[in-house]
Homo-oligomer: A and B are copies of this chain.
Amino acid sequence: MPTGVAPTDVAPSGAAPDLGVRLRARRRELQLTLQTVADRAGLSVGFISQIERGITQPSLASLASVAQVLDVPMAHFLSQPGGEQRFTVAGERPVYRISEGASQFERLSSEFAGNTLHSLVIHEPPGHRIAPIRHAGEEMVFVLDGEITVEVEGEQRVLRRGDSVHHPSDQVHSSWNHTDTEATLLWVGTFDVFGGPSETDLSDGVPTDTRRDT
Contact = CB atoms under 8 A, between A and B. Distances in A.
Contacts of A155: 86-87
A108 B152 CA distance: 16
Interface in A64-89: 64, 71-76, 78-79, 81-83, 86-89
Interface residues of A, number: 80
A171 B58 CA distance: 27
A116 B137 CA distance: 9
A82 to B, nearest CB: 7
B164 A108 contact: yes
Contact of A78 (B25, B75, B139): B75
Interface stretch (A33-41, A96-104, A122-130, A198-206): A198-206
Given A14-B64, A15-B61, 6 more contacts: A25-B170, A30-B204, A73-B78, A76-B137, A81-B168, A142-B186
Given A138-B117, A198-B71, A165 B87 contact: yes
